[in-house]
Structure 1
């Protein structure tokens, strides 16, 4: 025997093989002169059995707590009652770290979500969190894969900014060597600058919103996958977003079925995710919602409650498009054929999850942008360099931002966005 065997590969080693496994104690029980230890590593769990006949090893095993770390050596044996159908008959524990009594038990895990948030640095070891993190890794990888295979260049933008992208009320102000600055709400403006060099660009980076919100889908710090494309319009954004999301879901179904199962996530809704997505104009959405008991008038925003009801009408994500001017940011281009509306789109995830993408066409004409900034009672001087882009070789262009944490939440079937990432930040939580 050489090296170490990951838990997932123990069965492949074959019955009677001598293996060396390293990991952490997930479960432990003593019965009938034997200690049964379920060992976990990053790949799964395996049952290890220590017999009292092997006195020195038995004493080592007796000392182990939940989450003690160890290396176990032993022979592989078929055991239908064990997780995965195999176990290890332990002959030696050449190394272990017993540590303190682990502070999280099953009762605490079920009873107190705030306690688990306080103990998040330890709760990330749970199999449930491990499954979410594996799916999350697949999602990030699939985003990069799709963009790069479709001719996009990955770029980076600064986290310190001097003006708002999504409205001044949600800016985090910081002292930047005596000058007032803010944490970025979005990399969009910088990506727009870069399309004049690279044409198709994307980034995956944190964004920050000082939203005093306690809903199940809001964070103050979240991961943002953003893209901007030269020579593109609203129709292109329909195609790009539905193909990107479909690709991500496909990769998760290919790579993470076991993790989805551990989370209790039904895969049928994910299997429905294929382009094209239904397109629902804002006007039509208002009619649907009012028939469902809402009392919305044209020009009202469609919030989380409305999105939940609307998405339950569909089995796929939907493109909700052509929002009124007043409910979208100033940089959205108005539709020349219906100037009261914008060439904008939100992608809403089904099953009540709601918005995961916001995007559309950007204003590319200098005078049009100046006029709209003033209509929104903003100061053009605050956006000088952004406006400057419209002076030199401006072109029609479009883009979007995808909230990766919201996407993880939906794909995993989670109840709260805080469970979609390892260390969440919201208005009440700054640690761990």
Structure 2
């Protein structure tokens, strides 16, 4: 028999004998029965080994297996309503591929998160961490499908850049053959160039911020999806954002129900994530905070408590629009009716997860762009190529950036962003 199957597809083989190639996650014994918790990367299933129904060598082997030993198991698929999967395996044969060493670091008792992060290479084998990263994979795929189906072209910007794209200093510097260079904090400016060639584009890749932050919402290396669209206005930009978020959430609900259940995620809250999303201005948000006795003035930046309070008033993500121009990067288009605010918005996720998208209409007028750069003391030479986009065929255009890990954290309903990426890079962590 060579009927290898994956655990996630086991329901298709009820009543059939199958082979599973995987690892022993856990086991327990009750005399003449051994229960094997087997994982294969696609899921977890219980294998029941009954002494009188297998050879003595097989039964003894099952009793000797260490946690995380690699094994090939054959058996009959049978329904089991007590199982999360709905099925179990009546084991016939077990072949050991590799006996794991004794003393596997991650036992089934409770461990602290810092300890588990030291063993991230092993921790991702556990059901909850496995579920988080599978949902990340689903979100990743749904993003790409959304943009592909809507006529966007994927453009990969450089990771190494000669200057800051947003005029900040929180950059990782590198020596580029004797010249100063930096790890990119955003692909936006390069995506803008590509949008003038292809109309609608998006970049999707790693970005780097050297912020010395220890909050649960920050990583120093993270993934961003950054669309840029020619001839798209501020309002049209918001519609694209809410359609993308709704598409992501519906994809996870459709394809990763079991993983959401493993995380005990309240899916009723996710079911409500459908366009349109509510919109309030920055000024309205300030008044809301002041009425709730927050010490907050017009021109202040939102912190986590402020975003959480605002989001608590809504069941869906909420757009906060028309921020003060001085708070935002130089390339954001001022509002025609009030140049002190910009045609931009942050999208705040419900349940206290904070900002997941920031975007705006971009400045397309050459003179205005140069004026803004001068106000922020930005040198023209490193940005000459970006300035030239306004000299040759400039058009109104818009874009946004969505943080993948923050979105995954919200959809999964987990507390800390470090669990949403395979190997987190934070202020105090560069291992493993």
Residue 265 in structure 1 maps to residue 265 in structure 2: yes
**SS of structure 2 residue aligned to 1:277:** coil
Pairwise CA distance, 1:23: 1.2
Superposition pairs of residues 14-413 of structure 1, within 5 angstroms:
14-15=14-15, 17-53=16-52, 54-81=55-82, 84-101=85-102, 102-107=104-109, 110-413=110-413
Residues 343 and 86 of structure 1: is their aligned pair in 2 closer, same or farther, counting only changes over 3 Å?
closer
- The CA distance in 2 between the partners of 1:315 and 1:9, in whole Å, is 34
Q: Deviations over 1:161-211 (max 9, x none)?
A: 011123332111001111110000100110111111101100111111101
Pairwise CA distance, 1:77: 4.1
Q: Normalization by structure 1: what TM-score?
A: 0.96
- The CA distance in 2 between the partners of 1:80 and 1:344, in whole Å, is 51
Pairwise CA distance, 1:308: 1.2
- In structure 2, the gaps of 5 or more residues are none
Residues 51 and 269 of structure 1: is their aligned pair in 2 closer, same or farther, counting only changes over 3 Å?
closer
- The CA distance in 2 between the partners of 1:397 and 1:79, in whole Å, is 55
Q: Work out whether residues 408 and 420 of structure 1, in 8 Å CA contact, stay in contact via their aligned partners in 2.
A: yes
**SS of structure 2 residue aligned to 1:105:** coil
Residues 388 and 414 of structure 1: is their aligned pair in 2 closer, same or farther, counting only changes over 3 Å?
same
69-78 or 163-172: bigger deviation: 69-78
- The CA distance in 1 between the partners of 2:302 and 2:82, in whole Å, is 51
Pairwise CA distance, 1:255: 0.6
Q: Deviations over 1:129-167 (max 9, x none)?
A: 111111111101111111111111111110000111233
Q: Work out whether residues 153 and 200 of structure 2, in 8 Å CA contact, stay in contact via their aligned partners in 1.
A: yes
122-131 or 4-13: bigger deviation: 4-13
Residues 170 and 2 of structure 1: is their aligned pair in 2 closer, same or farther, counting only changes over 3 Å?
same
Residues 83 and 313 of structure 1: is their aligned pair in 2 closer, same or farther, counting only changes over 3 Å?
closer
Pairwise CA distance, 1:378: 2.2
**SS of structure 2 residue aligned to 1:169:** coil
Q: Work out whether residues 47 and 83 of structure 1, in 8 Å CA contact, stay in contact via their aligned partners in 2.
A: no
Residues 336 and 84 of structure 1: is their aligned pair in 2 closer, same or farther, counting only changes over 3 Å?
closer
- The CA distance in 1 between the partners of 2:90 and 2:224, in whole Å, is 47
Residues 86 and 339 of structure 1: is their aligned pair in 2 closer, same or farther, counting only changes over 3 Å?
closer
Q: Normalization by structure 2: what TM-score?
A: 0.96
- In structure 1, the gaps of 5 or more residues are none
- The CA distance in 2 between the partners of 1:360 and 1:98, in whole Å, is 56
Q: Deviations over 1:277-322 (max 9, x none)?
A: 1011000000011111212111111222211111111110011110
Pairwise CA distance, 1:222: 0.6
The root-mean-square deviation of aligned C-alpha atoms, in Å, is 1.5
Q: Work out whether residues 75 and 93 of structure 2, in 8 Å CA contact, stay in contact via their aligned partners in 1.
A: yes
- The CA distance in 2 between the partners of 1:8 and 1:309, in whole Å, is 40
Pairwise CA distance, 1:18: 2.2
**SS of structure 2 residue aligned to 1:274:** coil
**SS of structure 1 residue aligned to 2:409:** helix
